[in-house]
A and B are shown apart, each in its own frame.
Chain A
C-alpha cells in the first residue's frame, strides 16, 4: 500500500526567509509525485509535479522540489517566502491511486 507522510504539521517562517517542506512516501515503485497548495476556503492548486527525468522540478510561484529516490522524499523548497505563501501545503503520490499527505500549514511572519 502507498502512503505519504509530512512530518511537519505547522511551520512558521519570516517573510524573505527560505522554506523547505518535507514529504516522504512509501510505494513499491517510483510513483508520480505532486505538491498542492490550499488557501483557506479554496480548492487545491497544483504547484508542481514529478513524473520522470530531471529530479529537480520547477513549479509555479517560485517553488521547486527535488525527488530523492534513495530517501523516498520529495521536499518542496522556496528561496524567499512571501506573505501570500501562507497556506496549507499537501504532498501527494499517484501509484495505484492518489494518496495525499496530512498537510503542512505554513505561517509567514512580516
Chain B
C-alpha cells in the first residue's frame, strides 16, 4: 500500500516568502506528526494532530509556523516570512498506534 507522501520534495524560497508543505498520510491513520530536521541533527518535534484536532503545537518555533489538517487526512505546514534559519528538512509521519511511518521529507532552502 501507499506510504506517507510529501510534496514538494525540494523547495527553494527567498527570505521573506511564504511556503506551504503538504503531507499525505497513510489512509486511516489517525495521528499525524511534523518534525524539523536540521543538517546533521535528529528530527525535532513541531506539532501533532489526532484527526483534525491539533493536540500539541509546543514545538513550533515561532508564530510564523502554522499547521492544519482540516479534514483529518492531508496536512499542510505553512511557514510565513521565511528566514534562513528555517532551512531544514521537514518530515511528516503518520501513526495508527505508537509506531510512526515517515515520509521522505521536504528539503527547504531559504536564500
A and B: partners? yes
CB distance from A88 to the nearest CB of B (A): 9
Give Cα A92 to B99, complex, Å.
11
CB distance from B1 to the nearest CB of A (A): 16
A98–B45 touching, CB < 8 Å: yes
Interface residues of A in 36-67 (CB under 8 A from B): 36, 41-46, 49, 51
CB contact under 8 A between A43 and B102, given known A97-B45, A100-B42:
yes
Question: What residue of chain B has the Cβ atom nearest to residue A105's Cβ?
Answer: B40
Q: Is A108 positioned at the interface, with any CB of B under 8 Å from its CB?
A: no
Interface size class of A (residues with CB under 8 A): 20 to 34
Cβ of A90: which chain B residues have Cβ within 8 Å of it?
42-43
A94–B98 touching, CB < 8 Å: yes
Majority-rule SS of A interface residues:
strand
CB distance from A6 to the nearest CB of B (A): 8
Q: Is B105 positioned at the interface, with any CB of A under 8 Å from its CB?
A: yes
Give Cα A51 to B42, complex, Å.
21
B104–A42 touching, CB < 8 Å: yes
Cβ of B33: which chain A residues have Cβ within 8 Å of it?
98
Interface residues of B in 94-111 (CB under 8 A from A): 98-105
Could you jot down 18 A-B contacts, CB within 8 Å? A34-B99, A34-B100, A43-B103, A43-B105, A44-B43, A44-B91, A46-B100, A46-B101, A51-B98, A90-B42, A90-B43, A94-B98, A97-B58, A100-B42, A100-B44, A102-B42, A103-B40, A103-B41
B residues whose Cβ falls under 8 Å from a Cβ of A:
4, 33, 35, 40-45, 48, 56, 58, 91, 93, 98-105
